[in-house]
């Protein structure tokens, strides 16, 4: 992302940010291109944050038509029926985001993102995926990794009071200041498929229970051919059966995935706005760090549960990529 310097207009508009992270970091942001797929509340928060931060462009992908169910957590959708009648989530969110910062180019891409060729993703510096099936997450991550350039990849999901974020920066190099000197650092990340394939018995004993619970729900939806969030308490017995099978396969005590947590994830499928704000804010910070090359990046999962108010970072990696 080397190239042009910031314009006078950009320097004036982003003056406060430049004072925080420097002109070089802001220049990188201003020349960066972000792809976002799946526009629910958490992603709306993220998009608002990076548009205000001054990225170069944001491309939105979500062909779902706006309904009343889209409104509660997504503040980018104005609550007026005539405004969004017949429009897609991407179109409505695009119109709103343009008003936040006219210097950022916001556009809509139509179609099923899983059918886009590898070359399509080469235009972007970061790809953020939400509301996607297990198979689609793996596929898009693989396509990003096939490129000659490094494309940062993120998945984010929010279910009620719980949220999860995954980060893949591949072979990532960055610098940070320690006292008076600048230290060059390097971190190797596993792909999404590699991370979730790590045997549970090989993980540290105190890994977040939310990690295991999200994998059970994710696999249940995959086996049943459901879209993310298409679950209810009626699926309880099927989910508990799958939990038992996965725990036996991975030599994990079922108590590590409490019934109450699974039931919350099954029934609280709508997003909780305060949780969206927290996770969307953290996701924005991580993308800014990855693009600017400044600050320690998160590796590689982040979990938040409003029930206890805790946010946890977990490094779920195989031996070759463990920090």
Q: What is the pLDDT along the chain (323 residues), one digit of tens a residue?
A: 455 788 888 888 888 888 888 888 899 999 999 999 999 999 999 999 999 999 999 999 999 998 888 888 899 988 775 667 789 999 999 999 999 999 999 999 999 999 999 999 999 999 999 999 999 999 999 999 999 999 999 999 999 899 999 999 999 998 887 878 888 899 999 999 999 999 999 998 889 999 999 999 999 999 999 989 899 999 999 999 999 999 999 999 999 999 999 999 999 888 899 999 999 999 999 999 999 988 899 999 999 999 999 999 999 997 766 66
Q: Is 90 a member of any domain?
A: yes
Same domain as 280, residue 145? yes
Phi and psi dihedrals of 77, rounded to 5? -100, 115
Phi and psi dihedrals of 143, rounded to 5? -65, -40
Q: Is 3 a member of any domain?
A: no
- Parent domain of 67: 8-194+271-314
Same domain as 126, residue 113? yes
What is the number of residues in the chain? 323
Q: How many domains does the chain have?
A: 2
Q: What pLDDT was estimated at residue 322? A: 63
Q: Is 58 a member of any domain?
A: yes
Q: What pLDDT was estimated at residue 320? A: 66
Q: Is 290 a member of any domain?
A: yes
Cis peptide before 300 (omega within 30 of 0): yes
CA distance 235 to 266: 8
Same domain as 162, residue 299? yes
CA distance 265 to 220: 12
Same domain as 226, residue 175? no
Same domain as 100, residue 43? yes
């Amino acid at each position: 992302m080397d190239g042009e310097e910031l314009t006078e207009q950009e320097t004036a508009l982003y003056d406060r940010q430049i004072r925080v992270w420097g002109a070089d970091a802001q220049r990188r942001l201003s020349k960066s291109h972000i792809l976002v797929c799946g526009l629910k509340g958490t992603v709306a928060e993220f998009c608002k944050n990076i548009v205000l931060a001054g990225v170069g462009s944001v491309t939105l992908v979500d062909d779902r038509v706006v309904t009343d169910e889209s409104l509660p957590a997504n503040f980018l959708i104005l609550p007026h029926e005539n405004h969004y009648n017949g429009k897609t989530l991407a179109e409505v969110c695009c119109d709103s985001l343009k008003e936040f910062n006219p210097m950022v180019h916001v556009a809509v891409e139509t179609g099923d993102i899983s059918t886009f060729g590898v070359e399509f993703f080469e235009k972007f510096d970061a790809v953020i995926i939400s509301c996607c099936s297990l198979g689609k997450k793996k596929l898009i991550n693989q396509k990003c990794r096939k490129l000659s350039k490094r494309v940062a990849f993120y998945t984010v999901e929010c279910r009620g009071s719980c949220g999860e974020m995954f980060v893949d920066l591949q072979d990532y190099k960055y610098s940070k200041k320690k006292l008076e000197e600048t230290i060059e650092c390097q971190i190797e990340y596993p792909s999404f498929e590699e991370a979730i394939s790590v045997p549970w018995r090989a993980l540290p004993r105190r890994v977040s229970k939310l990690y295991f619970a999200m994998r059970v729900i994710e696999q249940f939806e995959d086996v049943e051919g459901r879209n993310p969030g298409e679950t209810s308490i009626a699926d309880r017995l099927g989910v508990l059966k799958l939990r038992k099978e996965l725990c036996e396969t991975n030599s994990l005590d079922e108590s590590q995935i409490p019934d109450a947590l699974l039931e919350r994830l099954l029934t609280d499928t709508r997003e909780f706005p305060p949780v969206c704000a927290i996770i969307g804010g953290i996701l924005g910070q991580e993308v800014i760090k990855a693009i600017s090359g400044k600050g320690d990046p998160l590796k590689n999962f982040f979990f938040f549960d409003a029930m206890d108010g805790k946010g946890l970072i977990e490094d779920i990696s195989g031996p070759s990529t463990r920090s």
